[in-house]
Amino acid sequence: MKNIVLLGASGSIGTQTIDVVLHHSEKFRIIGLSVGHNIPKLKEILSQVNTVRYVSVADAQHLSELEELYPDITFYSGDEGLVKLAKLTDYDIFVDAVVGFRGLLPCLEAINNGKDIALANKESLVAGGPLVKEALKRNKVRLYPIDSEHSAILQCLQGNDKKEVDKLIVTASGGSFRDKSREELKDVTVEQALKHPNWSMGGRITIDSATMMNKGFEVIEAHYLFDLPYEQIDVILHRESVIHSMVQYQDHAIIAQLGSADMRLPIQYALSYPNRLVMHNDEPFGFTKYPALHFEKMDFERYPLLALAYEVGRKGGNLGAIMNAADEEAVSLFLNKKISFLSIETYIENAVRNLPFIQNPTLEEIIDSDKKARQFVIDQWKKGAVS
């Protein structure tokens, strides 16, 4: 039996994690979880999951009501609450499925607490990759990726010597606007951007998929997860999202992981690694539904944020934190219909080019870089510096 602490229980990854746990209640038990502001969803979760003993919510104003309703549960709030969940002693694996930079500190706390990590919070590695890697090594714990692409790579590496890997091939759907030229992107709407052709995801990640920023984050993640240089990490456009990623070995053999567009598979694999459990309520992948699969070379001029991510990854330092924070703020401005879609790229690149570079940042300097990048984007917007 693995006891689990789950951050981001009300989000897409969180709810699917709960589904996996409920279908394998003989293997897993959730003892702690967090949600943001969605208190009705929390109550729904607690009606389904009767093993929860610790809960953190975003806003302290809900604590008195929740404590009265659930006297057997200990409640926390805010970012401090996430850290308190990470510091609990009576669990085995920490599922970090919150969105954004706020997932980094609890991730580090859980690692320093000697807990294995199932990671869906890509910002932890994009912004704090070296700190996370050092903490994993020092505390001798494992990190299992939940992103479908990195889970696919992990699966393709099983039984092989990593020294024989030639390159990793990360697949990308191309997002909502893969068939539009840059000229056609000038006037696209938020509603159009949120219509991903293959996946149902949250707002920010769907926009990041359309700009290819998300794939840039995944390249940086792959670098830290699998200890390979950026020259050995390729991205290829694959419209169907059937092949989740591939590994090419030095003899030119390529091993690919295929499957349905269902995030429960990588979630379940991360929780059960190295074992494979039965997948419940899932329609198995069928080749006859996909008589043809398509692949295209990545166009870095069409997707400049992917090129920027490679550059940021190679330089390292605090640039990942700057790029991520600028993206969070710029995407928020776009989702609130305050800037255009293409302006997202400009805000992010301006932040990366103009804010101070720190080669070997401390955690405090990464946190400060995150704050400065957010303020930079807001100030640029208020000044009307980007059209």
Q: What is the CATH number of the domain that holds 33?
A: 3.40.50.720
Does 359 map to a domain?
Answer: no
| Residue 202 counted as an annotated binding residue | yes
Residue 215's alpha-carbon distances to 219, 263, 381, in angstroms, are 6, 17, 25
Looking at the structure, do residues 180 and 288 belong to the same domain, yes or no? yes
Please give the helix or strand (H or E) that residue 44 lies within, else none: helix 39-48
Is residue 353 in some structural domain? no
Residue 269 belongs to a domain: no
Alpha-carbon gap, residue 235 to 168, rounded angstroms:
8
Among 91, 85, 55, 48, smallest CA distance to 70 is for: 55
Q: What is the pLDDT of residue 172?
A: 95
Residue 227, in any domain of the structure: yes
Q: Measure Cα distances from 278 to 94, 176, 189, 302 in Å.
A: 22, 32, 41, 41
The reply, when asked if residue 318 is annotated as ligand binding, is: no
Same domain, yes or no, for 197 and 213?
Answer: yes
Residue 165 falls within a domain, yes or no?
Answer: yes
For residue 356, what pLDDT is reported? 98
pLDDT for res 270: 98
Please check if 147 is assigned to a binding site.
Answer: yes
- 96 annotated among ligand-binding-site residues: no
Tell me: is residue 372 an annotated ligand-binding position: no
pLDDT score at 285: 87
Has 14 been labeled as part of a binding site?
no
Predicted model pTM:
0.94
> Is position 215 annotated in a ligand binding site?
yes
379 annotated binding-site participant: no
Its domain, for residue 60, covers 2-145
Element spanning 133, H or E: helix 123-139
Same domain, 122 and 213: no
Q: Do residues 159 and 140 both lie within one domain?
A: no
| Residue 297 annotated as part of some ligand binding site | no
Would you say 12 is a known binding-site residue?
yes
pLDDT digits (tens, 9 = 90+) for 335-381: 999 999 999 999 999 999 999 999 999 999 999 999 999 999 999 99
User: Hey, what amino acid is at 79?
Assistant: D
Predicted local confidence at residue 199, as pLDDT: 60
Q: Distance of alpha carbon 167 from its chain centroid, rounded?
A: 22
Is 196 one of the annotated binding-site residues?
A: yes
How far is 387 from 384, CA to CA, in rounded Å? 7
Residues 216/226, Cβ–Cβ less than 8 Å: no
The verdict on 184 and 224 lying in the same domain is yes
Q: Is 148 annotated as belonging to a binding site? A: yes
Pair (253, 115) in one structural domain: no
Last residue of a domain, one of 145, 176, 204: 145
Q: What is the per-residue pLDDT for 387?
A: 62
Q: Are residues 123 and 171 in the same domain?
A: no
- Do residues 159 and 111 both lie within one domain? no
**Residue 203: per-residue pLDDT:** 80
- Do 254 and 248 form a contact (C-beta atoms < 8 A)? yes
Say if residue 178 is in the same domain as residue 131. no
Q: What is the pLDDT along the chain (387 residues), one digit of tens a residue?
A: 999 999 999 999 999 999 999 999 999 999 999 999 999 999 999 999 999 999 999 999 999 999 999 999 999 999 999 999 999 999 999 999 998 899 999 999 999 999 999 999 999 999 999 999 999 999 999 999 999 999 999 999 999 999 999 999 999 998 888 889 899 999 899 999 888 666 666 788 889 999 999 999 999 999 999 999 999 999 999 999 999 999 999 999 999 999 988 899 999 999 999 999 999 877 788 899 899 999 999 999 999 999 999 999 999 999 999 999 999 999 999 999 999 999 999 999 999 999 999 999 999 999 999 999 999 999 999 998 776
Last residue of a domain, one of 122, 145, 168: 145
Give the CA-trace dihedral at 272, 16, 283, 152, to 10 degrees: -50
One domain for residues 14 and 116: yes
Residues 309 and 212 in one domain: yes
Query: How many other CB atoms are found less than 10 A from the CB of residue 354?
Result: 11
Has residue 53 been placed in a domain?
yes
**Is 32 annotated to bind ligand?**
no
pLDDT of 283? 78
User: Annotation-wise, does 149 bind a ligand?
Assistant: yes
The total number of structural domains in the chain stands at 2
Closest among 230, 226, 234 to 310, alpha carbons compared: 230
Residue-level pLDDT at 40: 97
DSSP per-residue codes, 135-201 = HHHHHT--EEE-SHHHHHHHHHHTTS-GGGEEEEEEEE---TTTTS-TTGGGG--HHHHT--SS---
User: Omega into 71 within 30° of 0, i.e. cis?
Assistant: no
Q: Determine if residue 365 is labeled as part of a ligand binding site.
A: no
Beta pairing partners, 236:
171, 297
pLDDT (tens digit, 9 = 90+) per residue, 192-239? 988 866 666 678 888 999 999 999 999 999 999 999 999 999 999 999
Which pair of tokens denotes residue 85? 């969940």
Does residue 38 have a known ligand-binding role? yes
Q: Which residues 6+ apart lie within 8 Å of 49 measured at CB?
A: 18, 21, 22, 30, 33
Query: Which stretch of DSSP H or E encloses residue 213?
Result: helix 213-226
Claim to verify: residue 176 and residue 120 sit in the same structural domain: no
The single residue listed with the structure tokens 């934190």 is: 321
